[in-house]
Chain A
């Protein structure tokens, strides 16, 4: 059986950043990757998807975007190339094609079974990502058999969808992007809107990610928040899209484009969907939260004395859902041929045979430190910082956790 002091599972941005930090600490390790580097980015994303963060924000330890379009948004092939280059420049000790099938606790460490044989390690870093599986609500079972049911992990482009209208469930980043492009392809689109986080792509002449970066919003730590961190971690993804035109896609723009906005799906039986009457309130909440963020940006600008450098503050149109929102839809009458469940993602820990999951199947951790000796997790939403699940968040988290890991190794050795 092969041995490494530390095993990192997954060679995406998190695994590669952790590998870099372990290397700088001379901690012997191996990165096990089920497919190839950046596998999820390569195989589990739709064709038109671009990163939601600008190129300049693709920063990893010892490495950053150096092209001539810092304000652009990478396509998926570009993300894959970016991470491949990083893997080769950082000389990460990656074993590709090694799918981990089981991890068990062993004396003073773990046994990691893979299709390429077993490893033993003392420390385990789970860097398999937060989006391995689509979360689909239970009521999906009530969908009529003739209506196709798919998730954003399977969706590629409008042309590959079954004929007919499309009901998209969920209006976070995935849902609004799919609604936009499927509607632009001439399909009827019904978008079911639950809780969402509305953000403009740009504000006062800068990208919203630039603002959140400079005002320190992305660096807010999990252990400095007085409020319940678990709720912050469950916050839906930002309503953003990365396009060369830097467009803002929100419920107003989708409505103008002919996307029908309805409330959260709360019933699905006998070929009929029922929608919650709470749509207006969820939109009001999202508008209020967006304006609170814009106010904090304005406050930062005023406090910095740089107000002259930016266009004047302004506010965006409140979300208009009208007063005639439908609360029911006969899928057959409406010609709905497919439903896309853009209802979020969750990690896959089916291979982890260590009792560290809570009753909802989430991994328990304190800022990435899992309550089992020597296990760490990376890349989860707001894991240590608001940016933890972003490419730009991998460096700081990996640095912290590598320090913790190294400290524990030294203590064990002493």
Chain B
């Protein structure tokens, strides 16, 4: 996801992380505005909360459409273009169109000129969760120093090769590990990561089924 797109999508995804806090001390624990101002993870929380309030009053403006187009290059190599999207009741254009290439590695008899599509899915999941961690940390008044996510996914390629119908094509499981340095306790960091999953679009996309409609010509 490009930076601008990530910000826009967070407008929809982001909701108050502290609300369901059971703690009776939530008023004491809530970071005061001045403390929050000292924390800078580069996320404009006020704008996000403002957008949330506005969209509660106008749910139709919350209807977004994301788009990508993809051109075959050669072999398993392809190039996607990501540009305009629809949201806030209007077409949203960008200053530039982003391109993302994909290919397959040499063990698949390919040129390995770009990551595989399934690796891009992992990258999408990692970026989405990482963006969420930053936004929620900002909201909770937690200064981040570094955030590193490592991802690994299992795949039995008997599925995609058509060897065994009982083996699915996709991942058997995905494991994500976050290494986060921040001015916060271990539990607070774990809570950031947990809440980020709860509000992540890509996490939802990979953990829940989605209807897909494909047409041609």
Contact = CB atoms under 8 A, between A and B. Distances in A.
Interface in A206-237: 212, 215-217, 220, 224-228, 231-232, 235
A133 B132 CA distance: 36
Interface string B3-33: 0000000000001101111111111001000
A69 interface: no
B190 A227 contact: no
B32 to A, nearest CB: 10
A215 B18 CA distance: 19
A296 B24 CA distance: 7
Chain A's interface: helix, strand, loop or mixed, by majority?
mixed
Contacts of A281: 194, 197-198, 203
A361 to B, nearest CB: 15
B22 A227 contact: no
Interface stretch (A17-25, A59-67, A155-163, A272-280): A272-280
B209 A274 contact: yes
A228 B16 contact: yes
Interface string B181-212: 00000010011001101100001101111000
A285 interface: yes
B16 A285 contact: no
Contacts of A276: 207-208
Contact of A231 (B20, B22, B195): B20
A195 B24 CA distance: 20
A359 B16 CA distance: 21
Interface in B16-70: 16, 18-27, 30, 59
Given A266-B208, A281-B198, A288-B194, A228 B22 contact: no
A197 B19 CA distance: 13
A197 B177 CA distance: 25
Contacts of A284: 190, 194
Contact of B16 (A220, A227, A266): A227
Contacts of A295: 23
B109 interface: no
A174 to B, nearest CB: 19
B11 to A, nearest CB: 16
Interface in B161-197: 173, 187, 190-191, 194-195, 197
B115 to A, nearest CB: 23
B187 A292 contact: yes
A293 interface: yes
Given A228-B16, A278-B203, A288 B24 contact: no
A227 B198 contact: no
B209 to A, nearest CB: 5
Given A277-B208, A281-B197, A227 B30 contact: yes
Contacts of A359: 59
Interface residues of A, number: 37
A296 B208 contact: no
B23 A292 contact: yes
A338 B23 CA distance: 37
A217 B21 CA distance: 11
A47 interface: no
B30 A226 contact: yes
A78 to B, nearest CB: 28
Interface string A286-303: 001111110110010000
Contacts of A197: 22
A323 interface: yes
Contacts of B207: 263, 276-278
A216 B25 CA distance: 9
A398 to B, nearest CB: 23
A290 B191 CA distance: 12
B24 A220 contact: yes
A144 to B, nearest CB: 18
Contacts of A215: 24
Nearest to B17: A227
Contacts of B22: 197, 217, 289-290, 292-293
A291 B22 CA distance: 10
A267 interface: yes
B23 A227 contact: no
Nearest to A224: B27
A48 B116 CA distance: 55
Contacts of B194: 281, 284-285, 288
Nearest to A230: B19
B173 A289 contact: no
B209 A291 contact: no
B16 A231 contact: yes
B92 to A, nearest CB: 26
Contacts of B23: 217, 289, 292-293, 295-296
Given A263-B207, A278-B207, 8 more contacts: A195-B20, A216-B24, A217-B23, A220-B26, A277-B208, A278-B204, A288-B190, A289-B22
Interface of A: 195, 197, 212, 215-217, 220, 224-228, 231-232, 235, 263, 266-267, 274, 276-278, 281-282, 284-285, 288-293, 295-296, 299, 323, 359
Interface of B: 15-16, 18-27, 30, 59, 173, 187, 190-191, 194-195, 197-198, 203-204, 206-209
27 contacts: A195-B20, A215-B24, A217-B22, A217-B23, A220-B26, A224-B27, A225-B26, A226-B27, A227-B18, A228-B15, A231-B16, A231-B19, A232-B19, A266-B209, A274-B209, A278-B207, A278-B208, A281-B198, A284-B190, A285-B198, A288-B187, A288-B191, A289-B21, A292-B21, A293-B23, A293-B24, A359-B59
